Structure 1
Amino acid sequence: MVIYLPDSGFRPSEASDLLFEDAGAGDVKKWLETNVGPSIADAGSLLDADDDSAETAYFIEEVNPGR
């Protein structure tokens, strides 16, 4: 699983703090879903996000090892 977050200062970026508390990617995903809402549809949308949409923009890519 790869989690793309906007730059610091936006709500989704707070999820990265969990990694310093020994949380895993699954914990970060759950925090984002609970505290921010659902993931955006594609990572490219993060590049075009204005300040208003960056408040809730993050993307989770499910990676299948071995493929």
Structure 2
Amino acid sequence: MYSITAEALETHFGARSPREEDLVRAFTSHRQRIEHIAESLFELTQAREILLRSGHIRFAG
């Protein structure tokens, strides 16, 4: 299971504001990329839960 911060969605995936509808739209539009980053972190850390933060996205390239 993973989650992503509003800040990461705003900074890296174009969410216009922290309003729910803007965050959901950004997540939906970029879901494949977000899930790829989460999968990479799961493999790297062997964690069961991950909170994706802006720094994770930045370092993922």
Q: Which has the larger share of helix?
A: 2
Structure number with greater Rg is 1
Given the two structures, how large is their TM-score scaled by the length of structure 2?
0.35
